[in-house]
Amino acid sequence: ETGVTQTPRHLVMGMTNKKSLKCEQHLGHNAMYWYKQSAKKPLELMFVYSLEERVENNSVPSRFSPECPNSSHLFLHLHTLQPEDSALYLCASSLSPTGPSTDTQYFGPGTRLTVL
């Protein structure tokens, strides 16, 4: 496989469930990101990992918990979510470990999350 992959592509969960989103990049990149995309709102950066260390947490509620075990994999652990957390969750990666501002980001296909 090439590029950035995400699983699952669709997820429906109740507010009391615990689930995890997975992202894998096959590009040899050093930085990985989680974004949230809600209807009629801009892409919102949630987390940034550079060389497997979290470098940014954009005031995300603690019910979202990221994990980056290595430079190719990124997880987003979900627990006790709210209906307003329903959105498209996008993973992205970029080559440079120095930060996202100047480096092209490549996106995965996203996970469409619905919280009931």
Q: Which of 1, 10, 28, 41 binds other proteins (CB under 8 A)?
A: 41
Size, binding site for other proteins by CB under 8 A:
19
Which stretch of DSSP H or E encloses residue 68? Answer: strand 64-70
Nearer to other proteins, 66 or 110 (CB): 110
Q: Which of 77, 104, 114, 116 binds other proteins (CB under 8 A)?
A: 104
Residue (of 98, 107, 93, 83) closest to 28 by Cα position: 93
Decide if residue 5 touches other proteins (CB under 8 A): no
The torsion defined by the Cα of 93, 61, 41 and 113, in degrees rounded to 10, comes to 70
Let me know: does 110 contact 36? Beta carbons within 8 Å.
no
Decide if residue 102 touches other proteins (CB under 8 A): yes
Q: Which of 52, 60, 80, 100 binds other proteins (CB under 8 A)?
A: 100
